[in-house]
Each structure stands twice: as structure tokens, then as C-alpha cells.
Structure 1
Amino acid sequence: MAKIYGAGAAMGFSPQQVDAMSVWQFSAALDGYIKANSAEENDQTKLSDGQAEEIWAWLQEQK
């Protein structure tokens, strides 16, 4: 249970709130938390094609 309480704490839940949840509710909250905090799902962490081209052009000028 320690890992479940730890994951719940990372999501902002108290142990009592975790205990009050069904397994399905906790799993859905955990999935949403992971999706919201995953770099793969966060478009702000990826360069656009234009940004990548600008960086490549700048690198070529540095030679």
C-alpha cells in the first residue's frame, strides 16, 4: 500500500482520500496524472519543424 499512497500523495491525495477511492477511480486518476505530466504528451517539450530548421541553420553558421 505504501506505493499506492505515495502515488496518491504525488497526485495531491491524502491516504484517507486514496482509501475512499475504488481501484477504478484511483487507476483513472493515475492515468490522467501520468498523461498530463508526461513529456510525450506535452507538445511544449517538442521543437516545431520551423524551430528545428532555425537551430540547424544556426549550427551551420557556427562552422
Structure 2
Amino acid sequence: MANIYGAGAAMGFTPQEVSAMSVWQFSAALDGYIRANSSEENDQTKLNDAQADEMWAWMQDQI
């Protein structure tokens, strides 16, 4: 969860705002933030396996 809250903080969200978001809202915000702050040569819009696993675990906790 620390990485998710950290990414939210980098986007300007408080932990409470991150917790109130659906996973889809957070994912869209993160995608937009990455696109706005990355060059096309350094495209980091894809989650790596560890990030995907962490996101999936977080989603399961929200159910």
C-alpha cells in the first residue's frame, strides 16, 4: 500500500483521497500523471509484474 499512497502523494492526493478512490479512478489518474510527466522515449505507463501484483492485492482488500 505504501507505493500506492506514495504515487498518490506524487500526484497531489492525500492518503484519504487515495483510499476513497476506486481502483479504476486511481489507475486513470496515475496513467494521466505518468503520460504528462514522461517522454515518449521513457514510457512508463505499463505496470511491472510487482506493481500489478500489489494493485491486485489492494483491489482484493477493497471488496
TM over 0.5: yes
- Return the TM-score normalized by structure 1: 0.62
Give 1:16 shift.
0.2
Q: Percentage identity across aligned positions? A: 85
In the alignment of these two chains, the number of paired residues is 41
State the SS of the aligned residue for 1:12.
Answer: coil
Q: Which runs of 5+ in 2 are unaligned?
A: 42-63
* Bigger relative contact order, structure 1 or 2 (CA pairs below 8 A, ≥6 apart): 2
Deviation, 1:40, is 1.4
Aligned-residue RMSD, C-alpha: 1.2
Which stretches of structure 1, 4 residues or more, deviate above 4 A after TM superposition? none
User: Which consecutive residues of structure 1, in runs of 5 or more, have no partner in the other structure?
Assistant: 42-63
CA radius of gyration, larger in: 1
